[in-house]
Copies of this chain bind each other. A is one copy, B any other.
Amino acid sequence: MALIVAKFGGTSVADVTKIKGAAMKIAREVERGHRVAVVVSAMAGVTNQLVEYCNQVDKLHDTREYDVVVASGEQITSGLMAMTLQKMGVKARSWQGWQLPIVTDDVHSKARIAEIKTAELLKSLHAGEVAVIPGFQGMTEDGRVTTLGRGGSDTSAVAIAAALDAERCDIYTDVDGVYTTDPRIVPHAKKIDKISYEEMLELASVGAKVLHIRSVEIAMKKDIPIQVLSSFEDHVGSDLPGTLVTREEDIVEQQLVTGVAYTRDEAKVTLLGVPDVPGVAAKIFSPLADAAVNVDMIVQNVSPDGKYTDMTFTVPQADLPRAIQTIKALKELKYRELQTSDTVAKVSVVGIGMKSHSGVANTMFKTLAEKSINIQVISTSEIKISVLIEQDYVELAVRSLHAAYGLEG
């Protein structure tokens, strides 16, 4: 008997029939003798509708009231899921974010979980009741409704699993696992059976949309294995389906490169002819941080003459107008020219094996060169290499790299 948390995304609970399908999976875990806490998203489309209402009222709406409005989507699903389980003869009740409570900070619309009180919840679970908890929701210390940001239900699930010291957290979604790359670009991409938290974190942050990045951070910190599963397939109990996100040590056969990810949501900013003097980087990036511009890759070339240098960095496309505005307002910053582009893409290869193997970067550069794809910016971490290229080449780059690292099925 184990305690497990199972989370169902919006497409997995899109209507009453789908909710029944999800409930059957939970019922099976209960039959196996497990204690189960279920975390549910809003029915597909509901959150979008609610956000749309808020934007119709005012694009600059009060995020406290936005949270009140959008949190109701998950509330609806939680009640329906509890009813559906009961109808199957499974004891169940719903727990709203404020009922447990799930305490968060007061950064409304993208709150972070501070604490989850589990005393009442554990009592109910040990009495054999399935707990149905709306994802995405929280409550501030002083009792206002909060939400965790889009995709936040994954985070709810893993945080609840951590608070309950659960054996694992099952994330049921509309894909059957994490793939070596986007199957829409490489049809023969392979499902990854096991992946480390660190790799998943890098993949999540560079555009593999299976898991919310915060959920992986919490899973890594608290060591909660995440099993990503399709809610539309029937899994045989003994076989390990989907993708298991777990500790590096638990993965016996390590691949050099685990996956290739990409994102088109990038914009490039280049400042030509910036004086090459100490403190110039701070002069640029402090104001950008103050303006909440999320700077990602940064490259500063060595200046040939020791006087002027070129500075390039990337930001999410949505932040580009604010980045330009901020830079143009910098009275003290001298530069010759400001160039921007929003037709760039970032391609990344990720693999824990890189830590101990050289040559991974070289394979990447060689492969792209063979296809005449120009690399504009490079950034690396211990287990990731990212390059910025023209957006037109993104499919070609992903396909070539996927093949070059032997990831094909």
- Chain A: residues with CB nearer than 8 A to chain B? 16, 19-20, 50, 53-54, 56-58, 61-62, 64-69, 71-73, 75-76, 78-80, 82-84, 86-87, 93-94, 96, 98-99, 143, 145
A-B contact pairs, 14 of them (CB 8 A): A54-B80, A57-B83, A58-B84, A62-B86, A65-B80, A65-B93, A68-B78, A68-B79, A68-B94, A69-B79, A69-B80, A75-B75, A96-B145, A98-B98
Q: Are B96 and A57 in contact (CB under 8 A)?
A: no
Q: Are A83 and B62 in contact (CB under 8 A)?
A: yes
- Expressed in whole angstroms, the Cα–Cα distance for A341 and B328 within the complex equals 82
Q: Are B61 and A72 in contact (CB under 8 A)?
A: no
Taking CB atoms, residues of chain B closer than 8 Å to A83 are 54, 57-58, 61-62, 65-66, 69
Question: A57 touches which one: B16, B58, B69 (CB < 8 A)?
Answer: B16
Q: Are B76 and A57 in contact (CB under 8 A)?
A: no
Taking CB atoms, residues of chain B closer than 8 Å to A69 are 75-76, 79-80, 83
Q: A58-B87, A72-B72 are in contact. Are A65 and B79 (CB under 8 A)?
A: yes
Q: Are A65 and B50 in contact (CB under 8 A)?
A: no
Taking CB atoms, residues of chain B closer than 8 Å to A62 are 82-83, 86
Q: Are A16 and B145 in contact (CB under 8 A)?
A: no
In whole Å, how far is A253's beta carbon from the nearest beta carbon of chain B? 45
In whole Å, how far is A76's beta carbon from the nearest beta carbon of chain B? 5
Question: A76 touches which one: B72, B94, B96 (CB < 8 A)?
Answer: B72
In whole Å, how far is A73's beta carbon from the nearest beta carbon of chain B? 8
- Expressed in whole angstroms, the Cα–Cα distance for A73 and B49 within the complex equals 13
Chain B residue nearest in CB terms to A84: B57
Chain B residue nearest in CB terms to A132: B65
- Expressed in whole angstroms, the Cα–Cα distance for A78 and B73 within the complex equals 14
Taking CB atoms, residues of chain B closer than 8 Å to A20 are 57
A67, A68, A76, A87: most-surrounded residue (chain B CB, <10 A)? A68
- Expressed in whole angstroms, the Cα–Cα distance for A61 and B93 within the complex equals 12
- Expressed in whole angstroms, the Cα–Cα distance for A161 and B61 within the complex equals 28
Chain B residue nearest in CB terms to A58: B87
Q: Are A76 and B50 in contact (CB under 8 A)?
A: yes
- Expressed in whole angstroms, the Cα–Cα distance for A34 and B140 within the complex equals 30
Chain B residue nearest in CB terms to A67: B79
In whole Å, how far is A12's beta carbon from the nearest beta carbon of chain B? 16
In whole Å, how far is A274's beta carbon from the nearest beta carbon of chain B? 42
